[in-house]
Chains A and B, each alone.
Chain A
Amino acid sequence: MEEFLQQLINGLSLGAIYALIALGYTMIYGVLRFINFAHGDVFMIGTYIGFFILTSSFGQALGPGFGTAVIVFLAAMLGCGLLGVTIEFLAYRPLRTRPKLTVLITAIGVSFFLEYTGQLSFVFGADPRTFPTVVEKTMVVQSGSLVIDSYQIIIFVVAIVLMLGLRMLIMKTRIGTALRASSMNLNAASLMGINTNAVISFTFFVGSALAGAGAILYAMSYPKINPLMGILPGLKAFIAAVLGGIGNISGAAVGGFIIGSAETMTAGYISPTLRDAIVFAILIFILIVKPSGLFGQGGTEKV
């Protein structure tokens, strides 16, 4: 039982990170009906933003602590948000009226661009770097074999707060209403007087900023960072979004938690080498059994 609880806690904290990244995929899909394959790389950039702040003389002077964490989170969120808006503006917007496949392939191009430009020696370099400590890790619960550390709590709390904040933003504000209308029908939204280009930029900003927050949480727990590190978490978060029903915001959150738990359970009970395989097995299973995902509405979309 303790073993199960431990795996569940590990899974939920990993899943919280996937959920944050998955929200970006699903929000952008909701409005533009395409998968932003560069999203995982925006996540990667987020870890480097944190890395450069922490290793700068400013970050060194601050040292680990709560204030440092707040600064690093806000910077990564802002940086990733702006990067997302820029990518949309430069790469996707000019192709708005083209077939979806064109934009999709462009997204893959942007993804490669970020990954391989990042590996240049004068950018991030190909060698992994070690993400410095943001806050000291402490043991919160330690009873028998059950261990919960402060990072797991931080990850969980930050993710939940951001998700609730997102929900408020979407359900209660004017721009949130505009976003909901735009994701139901972009043309109809513009006929209501909604500036749909602004809504799309806003969607990219929020979605990418959530990936930025996820990036810091991820790098805190897995402090080896490199320019290709966004690929796998990005894919898994994408699968989480598909599992929850792409375009469905609560679905993406639930999907993230399920994927995270499935991964740690498999690693704990079956074999650690299968932890990635299980996620892709879930993707294949869901695509066969219920392609619209757990909470998705029907309808087919060519991707």
Chain B
Amino acid sequence: MLTVKNLKVNYGAIAALKGISFHVPKGSIVTLIGANGAGKTTTLQTISGLNKVVEGNIHFGEKDISNMSPHKIVALGISQSPEGRLIFPGLSVRENLMMGAYLRREKKEILEDLDYCFSIFPRLKERLKQAGGTLSGGEQQMLAISRALMARPHLLLLDEPSLGIAPLLLQLIFEKITEINRDIGVTMLLVEQNAHMALKVASYCYVLETGAITLEGPASELASNEDVQKAYLGM
């Protein structure tokens, strides 16, 4: 579904991605793990069109989406729950969710999807009229994921859903990620520092180190790989 080939991205004079290649098959959850500054967020932002591709390309299905405008990429069916969640603080929870469906016009289906989000995260329904900025970190994460789902995407990009979340909620969020993938079959690319959780939910994993992919394999295999255990799982 998503194929990235030899992707290079610069921040000013600094090479943030030094030619990475990976593949996300339809219906799967693929994860990209790595330390802070490895280039994980850069990768997702570039797929969403927020960074300029210097070299290489990104194919979504048959289509080359490198350097396309962000709003056109959303229209093709790629939505993102961004790093830091980027909830619209002054909009209510409901308005935030409806922003996710900005490009859609079918009222009935939008309301169905809204109900689906509430079934996954009932907490959001309780907070419907509250301003997005007043939610807790975990609730904001639920909102960010739901907002991205409201675009009814074919590919969902998740940037560090574990960031700044209470341990109790962490388990719940990752359970829900699996549940969403199973329920509606949406393909997911998950970027995580929390390798432990990421390897649990994903089927395939790439390890990113300072802008390059150093290791890849089925998640279960990497979970038992000694290097990965030492560097990312703290064993």
Task: Please name all residues of chain A whose beta carbon is closer than 8 Å to the beta carbon of B70 when the two chains form the complex.
Answer: 190-191, 193, 196
Are B75 and A193 in contact, with the CB atoms below 8 A?
yes
Contact of B91 among A184, A195, A197 (CB under 8 A): A184
Q: Does A192 contact B (CB under 8 A)?
A: yes
Q: Which of B74, B90, B102 has the most CB of A within 10 A?
A: B102
A213–chain B nearest beta-carbon distance, Å: 27
Task: Please name all residues of chain B whose beta carbon is closer than 8 Å to the beta carbon of A188 when the two chains form the complex.
Answer: 82, 86-88
Fill in one digit per residue for B60-74: 1 if any A CB lies within 8 Å of its CB, else 0.
000000000111001
Contact of B48 among A184, A191, A197 (CB under 8 A): A191
Fill in one digit per residue for A52-87: 1 if any B CB lies within 8 Å of its CB, else 0.
000000000000000000000000000000000000
A94–chain B nearest beta-carbon distance, Å: 14
Q: Does A181 contact B (CB under 8 A)?
A: yes
Q: Which of A177, A187, A192 has the most CB of B within 10 A?
A: A192
Contact of A195 among B50, B71, B95 (CB under 8 A): B71
Tell me the complex Cα distance, A177–B90, Å.
12
Give the A-B pair count, Cβ closer than 8 A: 61
Tell me the complex Cα distance, A195–B103, Å.
10
Q: Does A194 contact B (CB under 8 A)?
A: yes
Q: Classify chain B: how many residues form its interface, as a range.
A: 20 to 34
Are A193 and B50 in contact, with the CB atoms below 8 A?
no
A214–chain B nearest beta-carbon distance, Å: 27
Q: Does B190 contact A (CB under 8 A)?
A: no
Are B50 and A190 in contact, with the CB atoms below 8 A?
yes
Task: Please name all residues of chain A whose beta carbon is closer than 8 Å to the beta carbon of B99 when the two chains form the complex.
Answer: 177, 181, 189, 192
Q: Does A185 contact B (CB under 8 A)?
A: yes
Q: Does A180 contact B (CB under 8 A)?
A: yes
Are A193 and B71 in contact, with the CB atoms below 8 A?
yes
Contact of B71 among A177, A184, A185, A196 (CB under 8 A): A196
Q: Does B43 contact A (CB under 8 A)?
A: no
Task: Please name all residues of chain B whose beta carbon is closer than 8 Å to the beta carbon of A181 when the two chains form the complex.
Answer: 88, 91, 99, 102
Q: Indicate whether A180 sits within 8 Å of B86 (C-beta atoms), given known contacts A191-B80, A195-B71.
A: no
Are A193 and B90 in contact, with the CB atoms below 8 A?
no
Are B86 and A191 in contact, with the CB atoms below 8 A?
yes
B191–chain A nearest beta-carbon distance, Å: 14
Chain B minimum-CB-distance residue to A183: B90
Task: Please name all residues of chain A whose beta carbon is closer than 8 Å to the beta carbon of B39 when the two chains form the complex.
Answer: none
Task: Please name all residues of chain A whose beta carbon is closer than 8 Å to the beta carbon of B95 when the two chains form the complex.
Answer: 177
Q: Please name 15 further chain A to chain B contacts, defined as beta carbons within 8 Å, in addition to the given A180-B88, A181-B91, sorted by A numbering.
A: A177-B102, A180-B90, A187-B50, A188-B86, A190-B49, A190-B50, A190-B69, A191-B74, A192-B100, A192-B147, A193-B71, A193-B102, A193-B151, A195-B71, A197-B69
Give the top 5 A-B pairs by smallest Cβ distance, nearest first: A193-B74, A188-B86, A190-B70, A193-B103, A195-B71
On B, residues with C-beta under 8 Å from A are 48-50, 69-71, 74-75, 79-80, 82, 86-91, 95, 99-100, 102-103, 147, 151
